[in-house]
Structure 1
């Protein structure tokens, strides 16, 4: 059967809550634009501290990257910690690294506190070396993480094969802080918790016009409006229309999910429940969900011209990694947009006198987004330190061309590589 162009997460999220569009004029202390990890976390932590907060989502909670990602809850960024400190300076970089190291604990604590049903498993992640050069990269990352007290282990090829069920890798870096979740169920569950604390959430409420008028922000939607003292824009890669687009380099990441694997296969593949990705420049990821579906993904856009190439590569590559799954069909497929910056680091950008926009997680949105949302709530209430300094506008030169470069590079790589 042909896979459905529909997120597995939207199919398996339990009892999706629905919120009405904003259809009146209201006031609040803070208005949040964007219903993903960052925006929902900001709304939750504002409401938890007694502030009045309105969250506007143009589509549905988790519609964007928060409902379309792999579901790996990582401790940190794709960029290694030493490079973070080189780019930001030792003190600022160390502060960001320390904050992001707490990301998984923040996420899993919220899940436990509010009993969010999101298939949470905290058994670590495996960063797998696809080549000898990849293993050298992992050794450097291991040394950097050990120097910062992280609970990581460097696994040899034999142990990696035992843990993953694949003989394709030269080794792996296991990070015990990390884990996996059903990401859409998590963000929707956190939105429910925010609402219980008093946050006002509105779906299908695109911010058509955003203006700062003296001491207040005025946001107009199709049927209503919000007046608030502070603005938190959390649209990441999905901002448009009145929500001023962030200065990002756009990229796409696609995933396909198989039918549930037979029980005997599930016992030989990722028996520990880790989520995985590799060291290739055009990286791949794989994991199992609660029902035993293999979820396999890579850079690329299944809604673009390279879709056929990406699908064919995924089928070949997955069979090469796991010959035992040959013949098990893909049943779902989906694509999400990733927001990257030229530094490959997140950015907090100033909007007006009393607003900020947060974006640029480079595909690592769950832990960092939850943390940055909490920090944004502290900022809006006038206390706490943000993980990064607030900057002015920093345009990304030739962003569209650079985004095309990533897509063409992924398509060419998938056309030439992974053949049996």
Structure 2
């Protein structure tokens, strides 16, 4: 019997299928973020929509994506990732082309719902397949699965960083929002072509008693998995404060929100530069549960540090400390949390579980954002203390999870 030798290189030597999935995540975020940062300005300034309608449109896009991840995950388990990914690409192309032409509230809403639903199909299929492939890679080479998932996360962050730059470049060259939408559509045409040619077929899974009515119960009555969902939700509620509490803090400290762009760029660059070495270190020294708990504790420290940091000439220091610590916590906990999912559910339910992880977290963000909004006018010490308790609660929940790894089932969908 041949013993797998752990990969000790700086970056895991990924098989072609894992390289395809990683490149997919990069291209997906590049195309998406070439458009999204400019959507609100286009709706308000370009189309003259009222502020509440702009907020409604953005909220509907998030709901149609995160809220329906569980649908995409279930379809992936039933039909395999290939048809779900290809359908998601086609719908995303159609959505971007529609949004480029949309001029009324109804057509804009229809376009963003289609764009969000496309991601609800595409993302859980790619993420669950990456998790499955990472487990197989771990079994074959000894490389911790978290390292593979970190490459996937870093690729996504690189796309999120380069996408807005692509959109800005198009605008500087004389293009408009329509040009950015069409550029995003072109990116997804490339993703569609690549997957149509390279993504392997998975044997069709016929319906059985196990994949019928009892199917959701296998996931949603799974207490350890629900604990993971709640712990992960505490992170996403915290991460969402980059768009809610952080802007309020920056404006309080500097009198405007002009520094936000630099702070977001700092977050993305940290992930691109530090994700792989940090995960390589943690994957070899920390069990996944410990990495999850530690990451949530670091996030909590970021919130607790805001009222302790000085004002005056260093007015942005509290906000910068929050961004750095929240990003470091994210880099620790996200690969660990995704790596735990295959331990907690059967392989034939991995897609549903991956989608459910995002859908439950999306619901928590919806509730948590409303609650945070009511606290923005309270004294800073109260606001940031309450926010710090959210990831601390998640860390306490994560401590109840098993730190071990189950032996994965044979994986047939990652053949190169």
By the TM > 0.5 criterion, same fold? Answer: no
Normalized per residue, the structure richer in helix is 2
For normalisation by structure 1, the TM-score amounts to 0.26
